Structure 1
Amino acid sequence: MAGLKYMSGFGNEFASEDPRCPGALPEGQNNPQVCPYGLYAEQVSGSAFTCPRSTNKRSWLYRILPSVRHKPFTPMSCGDLTENWNEVEPDPNQLRWKPFNIPKSSEKKVDFISGLHTVCGAGDSKSRNGIVIHMYTCNTSMTDRCFQDADGDLLIVPQQGEILITTEFGKMMVEPNEICVIQQGMRFSVDVFGETRGYILEVFGAHFELPDLGPIGANGLANPRDFQTPVAWYEDRTVATGYTIVNKYQGKLFSCQQDFSPFNVVAWHGNYTPFKYNLENFMAINCVAFDHADPSIFTVLTAKSTRPGVAIADFVIFPPRWGVADHTFRPPYYHRNCMSEFMGLIKGHYEAKEEGFQPGGASLHSIMTPHGPDVDCFEKNSTALLKPERVSEGTMAFMFESSFSMAVTKWGLDTCHRLDKNYYKCWEALKSHFNPNWKPSSK
């Protein structure tokens, strides 16, 4: 299997060629009259041609056959994938899901595409403005078929089971506690090694990028040098029975047939690539005096909207770290937010809800719906001895935060049968501690 290489800087220009074909990258121009080794030149553009240089996204692929050589696309079943946000009535309640079920391989073979389920979302892929959150639950590898999302970028968060992702740019092994991003239009297949589950954040109309650091300075959070891109790898393989390309387009699935592998790219260069990142490399910034800082200090990647400071989606993590603040209620504060907050748990126990919120499950706190620590967390931390302590040791929780008001699908509310209808009860025992005769203690 071909390896990975570190990005020299997030968003910079990269180049790679399969070592079996040295010199496959043309020198001096992108589209020579005859490419080395008789390859075809093909450009993949992730932005308008005339975007400013700092935001212009494109890569050149040098492949054995161009991707244009295929039979016509025809509609196929979408399964539990949807962009219909009016399937059910709106629900502003706090929602929590138990770990989503993974189909048993002994009962039914389910690959990555068949195992995609839309939980919630908002916006519209046609107008290029929106967000969708999916779960994937599968037990078998994709065979002679690949997936392409023409609608948006996919941020994949494995929770159970490693996945081997083969892309046009090369291969990436992605394990739980790592993430990868497959950008709009890139073709890929997924191999699994048993029962597998994870989360997907899909965004329309923007690409994921590193957040600005502002007063933090030059270093911190996710550092550019820790992101990795694939090394070029190709297969020159004819598929007599047909290779299937599955294309997600305007929220629907379509498929077409061709007689060769799409992973026939011998060399590539550009700044529009798939990439992966290990969450253990995140440099947490936190409070060291008093109060609980806003969760935005834990942002790994952001997909910006046209409004300054407002994101289509932020990917935020809550990694192991030190808690040292004085005179402070250290867990997350009670909160109502103008953003939607979808949380998942990769491993461990989330500090604000150690019971009920489980790895492989999720929660959704919609716009202006109140949420916060459960009763046990509040009572314990209101009287805790405030000494420096490790927070979230052995845990990795994350949040997909969005400025969109997300609708939950019928699958998420009903069909999956994983909705925890007793979630609201975790706050019911909160009691009043109000004392109108309270006096400050003497020092």
Structure 2
Amino acid sequence: MPQATLPNLYMSGFGNDFETEALPGALPQGQNSPQRCPYGLYAEQLSGSPFTAPRGANARSWLYRMRPSVKHAGRFAQIALPHWKTAPHIVDHGLPLGPLRWSPAPVPDEPQTFLTGMRTIATAGDADAQTGMAAHIYAATQGMDDDYFYNADGELLIVPERGGLDIATELGLMTIGPGEIALVPRGVKFKAAPVEGPSRGYVCENYGAKFTLPARGPIGANCLANARDFKTPVAHYEEKDAPCRLTVKWCGGFHRAEIAHSPLDVVAWHGNYAPYKYDLRSFAPVGALLFDHPDPSIFTVLTAPSSEAGTANVDFVIFPERWLVAEHSFRPPWYHMNIMSEFMGLIHGQYDAKAQGFAPGGMSLHNCMLPHGPDAEAFDKASLAELKPEKLADTLAFMFETRYPQHVTEYAAKLPTLQSDYADCWQGLKKHFDPNRREWTGR
């Protein structure tokens, strides 16, 4: 039977209870698992939370598919994806303690898919205990075609930096490019392909509670990331009866099953556990209107909460285009030590606290209780600048911030792009203290 024409590709809203069908009448009405589903489909529930989770946290979707997923059970054989690591992963790589920064890694010449091109930079927490995260980079030069994947260890937040990605999931299709993100929930099957040339970017693998929108507190009902701007795909199925491969990541290991059909065979679904995409240009930043530099938490797009209120398992934070208007203030981020560990990447432009050495596709890691802040050039420029309203244009940086220390992998420690002289950027910070002169003019 031919696939239905899709008038719309996405539905709007975050965490909504959606219903969507790729064929008219494919979605049962009035009950979830009728004795006989329309079109000879099978009913299958995908649960992203315990059955008894409170209503507001209960995550599940009902899928109506050509074949149930149990068809794949018992067919898995272990395989190796040696560059994808899982916490806890602590190795003696020999790097001294301190802040770290890497230049962009080149896109490889050899063929790589989204899976084989995944490289872990740091891990935190414990995947088996469903706490913490891993920070990865990926480079994809070809599509996965007949290869499919799902992650039982955590959800995947995908952040392209160069080139787009087509992401085909069992609940629908998404296309993202630089400046957008996509989230594939734990357990959702998908495949990915680069769009018009190689794709490079970052991935946060979140082992803990699923990402959600942060509480706005005194900000109120608007600004930051608004629920309406998150796009969930409509139902779309792939009817393919041909040899395929399904890989699952489970407790840090990789297992592959040879199957005789595409697993993206869901014709209709309803529920609130689904993939989504978001355009980071939709983020409405707030900031200081008179003086001082606010905490970076005001730029949180998504948060994965922990059992301790206000302390995230992972926060996804961005630093987008915005106006700076604060008077009598040091406008870039201040020098600080933080209980949170910060993995940072740059999508485009220049980050205002780093003058040189932090390029799009690069990354930095400032771990728990290790000091960091603007380099000497950025400090001097901000300290002596005439404070007029200024727009930070053509810039987009982000941060994966977690309550756990992020342990660097051997791959990251040996990357040729690791900047061994990174700490030198602070050597130019001079002592200006003079007990006889209260006003410092920089001269």
TM bin, normalised by shorter chain, reads over 0.9
* Residues 331-340 or 80-89, more deviating: 80-89
Q: Residue type matched to 2:58 in 1?
A: N
C-alpha spacing 1:271/1:91, structure 2 compared with 1 (3 Å): farther
* Residues 352-361 or 68-77, more deviating: 68-77
Q: Deviations over 1:226-282 (max 9, x none)?
A: 00001111121101xx21111001011111111011111100000000000000000
1:379 aligned onto 2:380? yes
Matches within 5 A, 1:8-407: 9-18=13-22, 21-70=23-72, 72-83=75-86, 84-88=88-92, 91-104=96-109, 108-193=110-195, 194-239=197-242, 242-391=243-392, 393-407=393-407
Distance 2:139 2:10 in 1: 29
Distance 1:40 1:209 in 2: 30
Q: Residue type matched to 2:219 in 1?
A: I
Distance 1:60 1:75 in 2: 29
Deviation for aligned residue 1:79: 2.1
8 Å Cα contact 1:97-1:362 kept in structure 2: yes
Question: Counterpart in 1 of 2:425?
Answer: 426
Q: Residue type matched to 1:232 in 2?
A: A
1:268 is paired with a residue of what secondary structure? strand
Question: Counterpart in 1 of 2:9?
Answer: 4
* Residues 122-131 or 57-66, more deviating: 122-131
Q: Residue type matched to 2:409 in 1?
A: T
Q: Residue type matched to 1:154 in 2?
A: L
Q: Runs of 5+ in structure 2 lacking a partner?
A: none
C-alpha spacing 1:430/1:60, structure 2 compared with 1 (3 Å): same
2:182 is paired with a residue of what secondary structure? strand
1:336 is paired with a residue of what secondary structure? coil
Question: Counterpart in 2 of 1:411?
Answer: 411
Distance 1:373 1:130 in 2: 27
8 Å Cα contact 1:13-1:271 kept in structure 2: yes
Distance 1:141 1:292 in 2: 44
2:69 is paired with a residue of what secondary structure? coil
1:337 is paired with a residue of what secondary structure? coil
Q: Residue type matched to 2:168 in 1?
A: T
Corresponding residue pairs, total: 431
Distance 1:94 1:157 in 2: 23
Q: Deviations over 1:408-442 (max 9, x none)?
A: 0001111x32211110111111111111101459x
Q: Residue type matched to 1:364 in 2?
A: L
8 Å Cα contact 1:181-1:275 kept in structure 2: yes
Q: Residue type matched to 2:257 in 1?
A: C
Distance 2:283 2:34 in 1: 42
Distance 1:203 1:342 in 2: 13
Deviation for aligned residue 1:4: 2.7
Distance 1:109 1:440 in 2: 60
2:288 is paired with a residue of what secondary structure? coil
Distance 1:79 1:102 in 2: 18
Q: Residue type matched to 2:342 in 1?
A: E
8 Å Cα contact 1:139-1:195 kept in structure 2: yes
Distance 2:439 2:186 in 1: 58
Q: Deviations over 1:68-120 (max 9, x none)?
A: 1125111101220112522225753110011022112xxx2111100011100
Distance 1:30 1:118 in 2: 40
8 Å Cα contact 2:11-2:234 kept in structure 1: no
Q: Deviations over 1:139-171 (max 9, x none)?
A: 111120111000011110000010000000110
Distance 2:208 2:364 in 1: 25
Q: Residue type matched to 1:98 in 2?
A: S
Q: Residue type matched to 1:434 in 2?
A: F
8 Å Cα contact 1:92-1:366 kept in structure 2: no
Distance 2:17 2:438 in 1: 63
Q: Residue type matched to 1:436 in 2?
A: P
1:199 is paired with a residue of what secondary structure? strand
Q: Deviations over 1:382-423 (max 9, x none)?
A: 1100011102x1110001111001100001111x32211110
8 Å Cα contact 1:79-1:114 kept in structure 2: no
Q: Residue type matched to 1:92 in 2?
A: L
RMSD across aligned C-alpha pairs, in angstroms? 1.3
